Amino acid sequence: MAVNDPIVILDPTDESAADSRTALERPTSLDGLRVGLLDISKARGDVFLDRLAELLAERGITVRRYAKPTFTKPMPPDLRREITTHCDVVIEALAD
């Protein structure tokens, strides 16, 4: 993949017709941004996010924690709305 090639994002959920999505540009810094940490409820993901929250807080970065009810289903719409309303960027834990 070349630097300027478009990024293709595949959604693993069962959709009849795939949504068309465009990846947002990553920020150069997290300073001044509200960071959401999303635990998808897989084993030990919370351990990773606990440590990450500590490291971000030490840098003065605002962190909000979220958790999906289960990793086996898509995120509930109300949780998705809350995260998009209160966060500038999201880090998701995918640990087992």
Note whether residue 59 is domain-resident: yes
Note whether residue 39 is domain-resident: yes
Note whether residue 52 is domain-resident: yes
pTM of the complete model:
0.72
Note whether residue 20 is domain-resident: no
DSSP per residue, the chain: --TTSPP-----S--SSPPP--PPPPPS--TTPEEEEEE-S-TTHHHHHHHHHHHHHHTT-EEEEEE-S-TTSPPPHHHHHHHHHH-SEEEEE---
Residue 64 clears pLDDT 90, i.e. is over it: yes
Q: Mean pLDDT over residues 5-15, rounded? A: 70
| Number of domains into which the chain is organized | 1
Decide which of 66 and 95 is more confident: 66
Looking at every residue in the chain, the average pLDDT score rounds to 86
Beta bridge partners of 46: none
pLDDT for 51: 94
What φ, ψ does residue 49 adopt, rounded to 5°? -70, -35
15-56 tens-digit pLDDT: 566 667 777 788 999 999 999 999 998 888 888 899 999 999
